[in-house]
């Protein structure tokens, strides 16, 4: 078995190069609208398909959402640092 290739996953070769299905994981805070997520996965899929020269059907995007109370930077929870609703469309930091 080739390194990095799992059974059942498509592989193609072109000019002695191997291509596998790209999987992108995006980690974001909870609360963004579905329309924003649709736009995100469409843009990522297009960019990856063009850059890696693979079919868009081969590109997988996983969105992992986190509550602000479960995410911290600089030693401080985002819920405390930024307040409720930070990062959602239409909110402004004050």
Tokens representing 2?
Answer: 């080739």
Q: Would residue 36 be called left, alpha or beta, if left means φ above 0 and alpha means ψ between -120 and 50 degrees?
A: alpha
Catalytic residue among 22, 33, 56, 84: 22
Give me the pLDDT at residue 2, please: 47
Give me the pLDDT at residue 49, please: 96
The pTM assigned to this predicted structure is 0.67
The whole-number mean pLDDT for each consecutive block of 10 residues of the chain, a chain of 94 residues, reads 52 58 94 96 97 95 94 92 70 43
**Domain 27-68 carries which CATH code?**
3.30.429.10
33 catalytic residue (yes or no): no
Three-state SS across the chain?
CCCCCCCCCCEEEECCEEEECCEEEEEEECCCCHHHHHHHHHHHHHHHHHHHCCCHHHCEEEEEEECHHHCEECCEEHHHHCCCCCCCCCCCCC
């Amino acid at each position: 078995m080739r390194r990095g290739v799992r059974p059942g996953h498509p592989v193609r070769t072109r000019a002695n190069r191997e291509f596998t299905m790209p999987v992108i994981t995006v980690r974001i805070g909870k609360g963004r609208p579905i329309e924003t997520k649709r736009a995100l996965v469409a843009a990522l899929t297009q960019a990856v398909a063009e850059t890696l020269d693979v079919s868009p059907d081969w590109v997988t995007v996983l969105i992992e959402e986190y509550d602000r109370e479960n995410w911290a930077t600089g030693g401080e929870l985002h819920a405390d640092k930024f307040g409720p609703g930070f990062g959602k469309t239409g909110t402004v930091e004050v």
